[in-house]
Homo-oligomer: A and B are copies of this chain.
């Protein structure tokens, strides 16, 4: 009997590991196993569920990734005392964001020029003060009205093709998403009162609250790009967990 299915009569299409994870999750949510409790080890659970240990391992790792379990060698597996929950959101292509909202997308380049990085940026990116970067300001529009505007620095040293791209054809946002896989990204967002410049480019009153995203991406050759993205008032970012 080398096959899992031979001893499971109807066999629903739900993978076994997910079923085990769901059952363990239920026991936690319904307090059958309480915060801090140690739960049976993988071998015991494998017996209970009639599964191989590898399958139980997969299920428990899922729950550990969710933050519901703490797993440590020798110490066993415990229900996390204060589950650290994570939420994930997608980094979209702005054009698709606009189009999914049912609006016609357009973007226009406000300015583009070669320039050395400002001091603060040079420090943050770990670049020399005299590095040659592309400074690009772009407005993304939906139905002809400003939707987001980005103030972006691009580093051709990390991504040589950047020097040859025409950003009027395809926005830097989209070009990068499609062509420049990154290894690491830092993201931060905060609220800000629109500056005079923000207000002008987004066509809103100064002082309006806007959501601002700062994102920097890196590959093995160094920082690719760092961008400040100012969103139109009313923009809502959603996530799930």
Find A190's partner among B89, B182, B237 (CB 8 Å cutoff): B237
Find A185's partner among B87, B236, B237 (CB 8 Å cutoff): B87
A94 interface hit (Cβ, 8 Å) = no
Residues A183 and B82 in contact, CB atoms below 8 Å apart: no
A238 interface hit (Cβ, 8 Å) = yes
A1 interface hit (Cβ, 8 Å) = no
Residues B220 and A188 in contact, CB atoms below 8 Å apart: no
Q: Name which residue of chain B comes closest to A235, CB basis.
A: B190
From A185, A188, A231, A241, name the one whose CB has the most chain B CB atoms within 10 angstroms: A241
Residues B25 and A233 in contact, CB atoms below 8 Å apart: no
Q: A68 to chain B: which residues have CB within 8 Å?
A: 181
Residues B86 and A89 in contact, CB atoms below 8 Å apart: yes
Residues B181 and A193 in contact, CB atoms below 8 Å apart: no
Find A25's partner among B183, B190, B191 (CB 8 Å cutoff): B183
Find A236's partner among B83, B93, B190, B240 (CB 8 Å cutoff): B190
Q: Complex formed: what's the CA distance from A106 to B239 in Å? A: 28
Q: Complex formed: what's the CA distance from A192 to B91 in Å? A: 22
Q: Complex formed: what's the CA distance from A179 to B236 in Å? A: 29
Q: A35 to chain B: which residues have CB within 8 Å?
A: 178-179
Interface residues of A (CB under 8 A from B): 25-26, 28-29, 35, 68, 81-91, 93, 177-179, 181-193, 207-212, 219-220, 231, 233-241
What are 23 A-to-B residue pairs whose CB atoms are below 8 Å?
A25-B181, A29-B182, A29-B183, A82-B93, A82-B178, A83-B177, A84-B90, A86-B91, A87-B90, A87-B185, A87-B187, A89-B89, A185-B240, A187-B238, A187-B239, A189-B211, A191-B191, A191-B211, A192-B209, A193-B193, A193-B208, A209-B209, A211-B211
